[in-house]
Amino acid sequence: MATEALIERILAASDGPSSSAIDALHELLDDATIEASAMPKSVAEAARLVGLSTHTLRYYEQEGLVRPARNASGYREYSAFDLRRLVFLTRMRLSGMTMTDLKRYILLVEQGPSTIPERRRIMLDQRDRITRQIRELDLALETTEYKIRVYDGHPEG
């Protein structure tokens, strides 16, 4: 499936990750599914597609997280590979991964397969942080729900 369609499918899943959205995400993260014939996107098109500002895309480029090609006029052109990396970056930033960790991870990716054990360790650590964050949010939700129940019984509350 085309990168653009996969991204739109993921972002359309507004009420939580459905199996369809998760399948699309897995396909996006698999470099073997990148379509060679996909037309590159401008910075504005790429920003709109992945839900980021053009400023953020330029910042990611400045930090070495993504390296879009330039056309003959000097404008950035985001390939399907670049778009897929942006999806990964946005998911990791949303989960609280630091820029330092992201830069380290991308540097390791670019160094090749010999860095897989270290990349795996980074992802395991990130999973632990996300799991803790989910537990903390579950408790915050439960606290909120409790207060709503209390206020339902006491409108002046």
User: pLDDT digit string (tens) for 95-129?
Assistant: 999 999 999 999 999 999 999 999 999 999 999 99
Residue 122: the pLDDT is 97
Cβ-contact 40, 66 below 8 angstroms: no
* Percent of the chain topping pLDDT 70: 83
pLDDT band at 18 (very low <50, low <70, confident <90, very high): low
Average pLDDT, the chain: 87
Provide the whole-model pTM: 0.78
| DSSP, residue by residue, 30-88 | -GGG--TTPPPB-HHHHHHHHT--HHHHHHHHHTTS---EE-TTS-EEB-HHHHHHHHH
Place of tokens 């991964």: 97
Nearest to 30 by CA among 66, 78, 84: 84
Residue 13: the pLDDT is 62
Ramachandran category for residue 124: left, alpha or beta (phi over 0 → left; psi -120 to 50 → alpha): alpha
Q: How many CB atoms are located within 10 Å of the residue 60 CB?
A: 24
Residue 47: the pLDDT is 92
Cβ-contact 53, 47 below 8 angstroms: yes
Residue 95: the pLDDT is 92
Pick the more confident residue, 73 or 39.
Answer: 73
Instruction: Tell me the C-alpha distance between 15 and 125, whole Å.
Output: 27
Q: What are phi and psi of 31, to 5 degrees?
A: -60, -20
